[in-house]
Amino acid sequence: MIRTHHKEWPDLSVLVACSEFALAGQAAEYHLSIRITASESDAKTQFAQLEDALSRWQREYPHTMLVWRRYFLSDVMNQHDFLRGYENEDAALSVVQQAPGLTKVALWAYFVTSENSRVAKNTSVQAAELIRPSYRHFYHTQLHASVSDEEKQTADIFDRYTALLATQACTLGRHCIRTWLFVRDIDLRYAGMVKARRACFEREGLTSQTHFIASTGIEGRYTDPQALVMMDAYAVHGLETVQIRYLYALDHLNRTSEYGVTFERGAMVQYGDRRHIFISGTASINKDGEIVYSGNLSGQLDRLFENIKALLAEAEAGMHDVMHMIVYVRDPGDYAAVGTWIDAYFPQISRIIVCAAVCRPGWLVEVECIAVTAVGDDRFPAF
């Protein structure tokens, strides 16, 4: 059901990959990645080329509407002005400093068909909202705080997020599907973020005996120099508890709580007409929580994708169902080698590769992905 279209537009110096999931009579979904090919051009030129490419794609798909987009920047402090004004648009906007190799900017965008869909800014919950006939999808982005340290900032972010969800009769445990936590200087500050998140989850009843939330915790910077932690989050109103299932692949990976962190390896959301599968940031780890292939880049890539395949298999899916992935490379010197490896093994998948340190120094690379399958369950409404 996944069709991926790759286009190179030399006049704009961009590569565009679009993954499409379409079912007869139902909403279609599109994950789009746009990458710059001319690294020698300046930031202003690259941003203009990217925006021209996005506009061209939208003209070719006029039946779609933008729901979400994330810009990956090489220098957020100097480049954020190129995106000024986008905060006022209805679609969710995420901006993070994670350099896309030697270029200045890359884009991941998510669209749905416009029939029976509406995207609007919900001021009550301070989020972009995708409104469908049976579900409301909330996209919170750039949640941050300016209090003293990473632990207090994380606590403030989660406290505010749970309060915002409550305005829509939602809770963290019942409705939040996925988070991204961007930590500045992650080698130094990851532990503080983890401690505060765990305390929040315990208050919300999220434990190893219940469940956590699919997540990526990764190096990233925001425009506010005081922000040590930033969070994006995705929640859905209208789901029954049984529509969400968590993925473990315990023959390949251990529970994250065994080494002191609190996130799920993956989550599956069952709709009447399809499944959404969210795979958290996944590295080269075994069922004992140990790094596999220490110092070996290709070995770590092999192992992490073996882990991802095992997680997808629990949702009756495979790599052919993946619509989009983000690849995080710790050492910028490995960026080209990782790109070559990905192009060799998964050339069909829409992806963005960025330079961002993984939460454990020994992990050289980490990958997250989103998959969709046409496995429905008529007990529930369609997406």
Tens digit of each residue's pLDDT (9 = 90 or more) over 156-198: 999 999 999 999 999 999 999 999 999 999 999 999 999 999 9
Contact, 68 vs 109, CB < 8 A?
yes
pLDDT digits (tens, 9 = 90+) for 7-65: 999 999 999 999 999 999 999 999 999 999 999 999 999 999 999 999 999 999 999 99
Domain extent listing, the chain: 1-115, 119-239, 242-383
Going from the C-alpha of 365 to that of each of 189, 265, 304, 355, the distances in angstroms are 19, 16, 9, 9
Q: Residue 211: what are its φ and ψ, rounded to 5°?
A: -165, 165
If we measure between CA atoms, which residue out of 212, 272, 271 comes closest to residue 246? Answer: 212
Q: Give the pLDDT mean for 362-381.
A: 99
The pLDDT value recorded for residue 146 is 87
Instruction: Using CB atoms within 10 Å of the CB of residue 62, give its burial: 0 to 12 exposed, 13 to 18 middle, 19+ buried.
Output: exposed
CA torsion sign for 170, 175, 180, 182 is positive
Q: Token match 């537009």: residue? A: 9
Q: CATH number for the 119-239 domain, one of 3.50.30.50, 3.30.870.10, 3.60.21.10, 3.30.1330.40?
A: 3.30.1330.40
Q: Please give the Cα distance from 176 to 215 (Å, whole number).
A: 10
**Cα R_g (the chain), whole angstroms:** 19
If we measure between CA atoms, which residue out of 255, 260, 259, 192 comes closest to residue 229? Answer: 192
The pLDDT value recorded for residue 87 is 83
Going from the C-alpha of 205 to that of each of 111, 179, 187, the distances in angstroms are 33, 17, 28
Task: Give the pair of three-digit tokens for residue 121.
Answer: 């800014």
Beta bridge partners of 328: 354, 366
Q: Give the pLDDT mean for 95-113.
A: 98
Task: Give the pair of three-digit tokens for residue 324.
Answer: 């989009």
Whether the domain at 119-239 and the domain at 242-383 fall into the same CATH topology: yes
> Which pTM does this prediction carry?
0.97
Say whether pLDDT at 6 is over 80. Answer: yes
Beta-sheet pairing, 350-355 with 322-329: parallel
3-state secondary structure of 334: helix
CB under 8 Å to 323, separation ≥6 — which residues? 2, 19, 21, 29, 31, 349, 350, 369, 370, 371, 372
Q: Please give the Cα distance from 72 to 182 (Å, whole number).
A: 12
Going from the C-alpha of 233 to that of each of 205, 214, 350, 374, the distances in angstroms are 18, 10, 21, 25
Contact, 227 vs 152, CB < 8 A?
no
3-state secondary structure of 183: strand
pLDDT confidence bin for 289, thresholds 50/70/90: very high
Say whether pLDDT at 147 is over 90. Answer: no
3-state secondary structure of 177: strand
Q: CATH number for the 242-383 domain, one of 3.30.470.10, 3.30.1330.40, 3.90.1150.10, 1.10.3210.10?
A: 3.30.1330.40
Q: Please give the Cα distance from 285 to 251 (Å, whole number).
A: 11
CB under 8 Å to 329, separation ≥6 — which residues? 335, 338, 353, 354, 355, 356, 364, 365
If we measure between CA atoms, which residue out of 182, 118, 172 comes closest to residue 150? Answer: 182
If we measure between CA atoms, which residue out of 304, 336, 249 comes closest to residue 39? Answer: 336
If we measure between CA atoms, which residue out of 49, 181, 52, 141 comes closest to residue 103? Answer: 49
Lowest mean pLDDT among 81-90, 241-250, 264-273, 366-375: 81-90
Q: Token match 């993984």: residue? A: 358
Please state which CATH number belongs to domain 1-115.
3.30.1330
The pLDDT value recorded for residue 91 is 97
